[in-house]
């Protein structure tokens, strides 16, 4: 296996940014890929520094792309940089060219923790059938509710989303995205995971109630645990296995 840290200038962001890429210890014509997104207080190094991802991933064929998006909530910020356009358009194009990643939706996956769980589901909800699987670990899935209950978020959220009204009416509001989800058109497998001791547990329950009604392929998992790396280190192992099953399932169908 190999882990590379790449610093490059983004045309969208108009500045230098960083991404970490994990590659398996064997060559393929094209690699199935997982985009693994970081949380609010972290960066592109978080999954490598805080978990044993490098050791877990050696048993699977995935390339793993870990981008840096600062405190952007994976959006084109009202007062800040266009991290959503960077993440969903510029970054995949560069990664595909540089690392020979698969262009097939069956071989493309996304996951993230906390703010990254929000980013993962936002990407999969707003771009139907771009991913085979999407996972939220302890995601901040109802940001409208979070903002309403926590006045300490006012400064950060206003820079990111504008006003609460702008947030509610936009695709940055995942609850709104769920209302628009078409059961017959989005085959992405959504996997929502949350610890029962997590401070975002109730937030996740609100999303869960709507997701079960609006998404074609949806599963919810909970376990003992909080909003911490101990929980995410344990669950990333399960998700790598689940993604490999989804990958094998699609490859088997393609041979039929």
Q: What is the pLDDT of residues 17-75, one digit of tens each?
A: 999 999 998 888 899 999 999 999 999 999 999 999 999 999 999 999 999 999 999 99
Tokens 């230098």 belong to: 16
Q: What are phi and psi of 134, to 5 degrees?
A: -135, 135
Beta bridge partners of 35: 65, 110
pLDDT digits (tens, 9 = 90+) for 204-237: 999 999 998 889 999 999 999 999 999 999 999 9
pLDDT by residue (tens digit) across 123-153?
A: 999 999 999 999 999 999 999 999 999 989 9
pLDDT of residue 157: 97
Q: What are 62-110's pLDDT values in tens digits?
A: 999 999 999 999 999 999 999 999 999 999 999 999 999 999 999 999 9
The pLDDT > 70 percentage for the chain reads: 96
pLDDT band of 9, cuts 50, 70, 90: very high
- Supply the CATH number for residue 123's domain: 3.40.50.1820
Q: How many domains is the chain partitioned into structurally?
A: 1
Report how far Cα 170 is from the mean position of its chain's Cα atoms.
Answer: 19
The sign one gets for the Cα dihedral 74, 75, 78, 79 is positive
pLDDT surpasses 60 at 254: no
If you average pLDDT over residues 182-202, what whole number do you get? 91
SS3 assignment, position 208 = helix
Q: What is the DSSP code (8-state) at residue 71?
A: S
Residue burial 106-119, b: 16+ Cβ < 10 Å; e: rest: bbbbbbbbbbbbbb
Amino acid 24: pLDDT: 92
pLDDT at 184: 65
Neighbours of 179 (CB within 10 A): 11
- Residue 149 has a pLDDT of 93
- At residue 253, the pLDDT reads 63
List 22's β-bridge partners, or say none: 3, 64
pLDDT in the model for residue 180? 79
Residue whose entry in the numeric block shows the structure tokens 């929980």:
231
Q: Please give the pLDDT value at position 186.
A: 85
Cβ atoms of residues 17 and 8 within 8 Å: yes
Task: Tell me which residue range forms the domain holding 138.
Answer: 2-255
Q: How far apart are CA 118 and CA 143, in angstroms?
A: 9
> Cα separation of 174 and 176, whole Å?
5
- pLDDT reading at 250 higher than 80: no
DSSP conformation class of 137: E
The answer to whether the beta carbons of residues 191 and 210 sit under 8 Å apart is no
The DSSP bridge partners found for residue 171 are none
């Amino acid at each position: 296996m190999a882990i590379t840290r790449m610093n490059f200038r983004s045309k969208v962001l108009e500045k230098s940014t960083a991404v970490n890429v994990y590659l398996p210890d064997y060559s393929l014509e094209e690699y199935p890929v997982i985009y693994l997104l970081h949380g609010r207080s972290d960066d592109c190094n978080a999954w490598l520094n805080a978990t044993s991802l490098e050791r877990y991933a050696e048993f699977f064929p995935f390339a793993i792309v870990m981008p840096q998006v600062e405190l952007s909530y994976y959006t084109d910020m009202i007062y800040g940089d266009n991290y959503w356009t960077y993440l969903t358009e510029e970054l995949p194009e560069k990664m595909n060219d540089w690392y020979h990643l698969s262009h097939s939706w069956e071989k493309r996956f996304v996951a993230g923790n906390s703010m990254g769980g929000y980013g993962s589901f936002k990407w999969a909800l707003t771009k139907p059938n771009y991913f085979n699987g999407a996972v939220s670990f302890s995601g901040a899935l109802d940001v409208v509710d979070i903002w309403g209950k926590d006045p300490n978020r006012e400064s950060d959220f206003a820079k990111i989303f504008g006003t609460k009204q702008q947030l509610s009416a936009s695709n940055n509001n995942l609850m709104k995205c769920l209302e628009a989800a078409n059961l017959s058109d989005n085959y992405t497998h959504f996997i929502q995971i949350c610890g029962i001791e997590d401070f975002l547990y109730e937030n996740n329950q609100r999303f869960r109630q709507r997701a079960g009604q609006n998404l074609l392929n949806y599963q919810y998992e909970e376990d003992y645990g909080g909003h911490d790396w101990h929980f995410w280190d344990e669950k990333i192992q399960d998700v790598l296995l689940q993604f490999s099953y989804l990958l094998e399932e699609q490859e088997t169908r393609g041979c039929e």
